[in-house]
Structure 1
Amino acid sequence: MANNKSSKKRIEIAERNRQRNRTYKSALRTLMKRCFTACTSYAQEPGDQTKDVVQTSMSAAFSKIDKAVKCGVLHRNTGAHQKSRISAAVKKAIEPAAAVG
């Protein structure tokens, strides 16, 4: 346990930051999973409505990733890696459907 005032304050600040980072990462994982789910549903059943869902989920995930990098929750290379994963999944889902349809 902390012995002086400043170290107690640092412990409180670290806990506050940990909670904030945890909520950011949780929301990020949720948005990424939602995007991947939308990609698989579009690949199974292509259509304009599902394509819009894919695009909106991708842009929401990109936005959250950029904000997390800006706040320092994620390293910029990690953010770039995750954005690359999402865009590759979207491209893979949309390209074959465009060739067929």
Structure 2
Amino acid sequence: MANSRSAKKRIKINKRNNIQNNTYKSLIKYYEKVHLNLINEYENSGDLIVGQSPSDSVKKKLLASLALVVSRIDKAVKKKIFHKNTAIRKKNNLFKKTFKTS
């Protein structure tokens, strides 16, 4: 238990920031799932075939979705919600899944 007034205040601030950070992290997870579901949807429909270039409409939707996720991850790093290496790992995995060639 905190003894000083400033320590009690820091506990309240940490709880508040923890709630805000968790909501932002869950939003990023949601956008990642949406992007991965979009990739799976196009792979299953035959619009996205490995080794062939996708159609323009599919490419635009995938790139827009990827840009949204990457933007949110970068903002989380700027707000110090994610560590920069965590963000790099997340973005790298998304790029691999989006632009697979083999």
User: Would the TM-score normalized by the shorter structure come out above 0.5?
Assistant: yes
Q: What residue is the counterpart of 1:33 in the other structure? A: 33
> Relative to structure 2, which stretch is displaced further, 80-89 or 40-49?
40-49
1:17 aligns with 2:25: no
If asked which structure has higher relative contact order (CA below 8 Å, sep 6+), I would say 1
CA RMSD of aligned residues (A): 1.5
> Relative to structure 2, which stretch is displaced further, 12-21 or 41-50?
41-50
1:8 aligns with 2:16: no
Letter in 2 for 1:64: R
What is the TM-score of this pair, normalised by structure 2?
A: 0.83
Question: Any unmatched runs of 5+ in structure 1?
Answer: 97-101
Q: Equivalents in 1 of 2:29, 2:64: separation in Å?
A: 16
Letter in 1 for 2:98: V
Letter in 2 for 1:30: Y
What is the TM-score of this pair, normalised by structure 1?
A: 0.84
List, as ranges, runs of 4+ consecutive aligned residues in structure 1 with deviation greater than 6 Å. Answer: none
Question: Any unmatched runs of 5+ in structure 2?
Answer: 48-54
Q: Residues 4-83 of structure 1: matches in 2 within 5 Å?
A: 4-45=4-45, 46=47, 47-83=55-91
Aligned residues: 94
Q: Equivalents in 2 of 1:90, 1:37: separation in Å?
A: 11
Aligned sequence identity (%)? 35
